[in-house]
Amino acid sequence: MRKILGLFLLSFFLMSANIGDYQLVNTVTFPTHTVFTTDKFGNLFAILGNQLLQFDKNGKPLANFSKGNLGELRSVDASNPLKIVLFYPDFAQIVTLNSKLGEQSVINLRNIGLNQPLVACSSENGGFWIYDRDDDQLKKIDLNLQIAFQSGNLTQAFGQTIQPNFICESGGYVYLNNPETGIKVFDQFGTFYKEIPYPGLRSFQIVDQNILFVKDNKFFRYESKSVSEKEILLPPHGAVSGGRIEQQQLYLLTSDSLNFYSF
């Protein structure tokens, strides 16, 4: 019931929010290229250098994690707040953490035949989704670290080079972002479903099959059912490079800070 109520409130907000509805809770200084995400409890996870920082919904620091011998920390996936997934492409490694950023496991993808992983995320049914540039395939890795599903060579299928920079799974669909063309959507078996033509995105958030994303200094919602785009009104801000919404919280990354709002 609480989850249903939360989705109702979020849907209502997305349709009717006014600038006066926002209350600034906290501001934390961060560079504009910061990679960040949130979990369903409103915690925020930000990558600063090769360090992962965790904040609560009010911007209070909670924990941090770093592992300096794995190269660049490219992404963090907190869709499962009990199993946070970090991706290190230089050494083809995934590190999973618990909710307090304690290390759970380290997975070497090359040991299971994934030689050039470009992006990685958690799967809702357990395991991971990987895009492997070695053979240009989207692959589902199960809990036994075996390849359960794979898409076939996507460069051959689409007649173009796929160079994804972001991936996530939500509601049984996998969203693979190819900045050159847009978001390629696959089903839970790795079969191509459709493409949403939004090129140039860094990342996005899926809420009830709607896509929230920042582009041209504005925050948008793409509604998959009506195939329409609507702008989400924001409080006064500088240049916006990232945004997310969880429950009744708005998170905005501007030119020099992460800003926490309630509504």
- Provide CB contacts within 8 A for 117, sequence distance 6+: 87, 89, 92, 109, 130, 131, 132, 133
At 47, the amino acid letter reads I
Tens digit of pLDDT for each residue in 121-151? 999 999 999 999 999 999 999 999 999 999 9
Tens digit of pLDDT for each residue in 80-100? 999 999 999 999 999 999 999
Tens digit of pLDDT for each residue in 178-220? 999 999 999 999 999 999 999 999 999 999 989 999 999 999 9
Percentage of the residues of the chain whose pLDDT score is greater than 90: 86
**CATH 2.120.10.30 residue ranges for the chain:** 29-222
In angstroms, the CA 62 to CA 242 distance is 21
Tens digit of pLDDT for each residue in 54-70? 999 999 999 999 998 99
Integer distance in angstroms from the first to the last C-alpha of the chain?
Answer: 20
- The superfamily in CATH containing domain 29-222 is TolB, C-terminal domain (2.120.10.30)
pTM, entire model: 0.91
Tens digit of pLDDT for each residue in 98-109? 999 999 999 999
Phi, psi (rounded to 5 degrees) for 14: -60, -25
